[in-house]
Structure 1
Amino acid sequence: MHSMHGFGSIWPMVGMIIFWAGLIILGIYLVSSYANGGRKKDSLDILKERLAKGEIDESEYERLKSILKK
């Protein structure tokens, strides 16, 4: 019978796990970036969306916009 002593070390397996984890994280980042249109939303974009959805009215939009530009 063969024993596992001296067969190899654990480092190649650890390296492979790190490689695959990095590849999966990169994939998740690229998919989420693509879903956002390739850019992050800033506070004015969120404010415009809230106005478009009817969550706030124009006076509230202008008030919040003036606060954000300070």
Structure 2
Amino acid sequence: MSSETPSSVADTSTAGTSSSPSSSTTNKQKEKARVSRTSMILWHAHQNDAAAVRKLLEEDPSLVRSLEKHATS
């Protein structure tokens, strides 16, 4: 999977907010990681790679919700 971030997930400014720069950075990193894991599981599911999907779900069971969202779209 490419390490490039899609332009739709571009970094947004937090100027004028009360959160500290370090907490804002941490939140952005968590969001990017979540998007990456969601993309990975969807890609592996599309490739019919059950072993990779199983491993990702074992590591992060909350990914089931991302599959449910995309299945109904």
**Same fold, judged at TM 0.5 (above):** no
Greater radius of gyration (CA):
1
TM-score norm. by structure 2 comes to 0.41
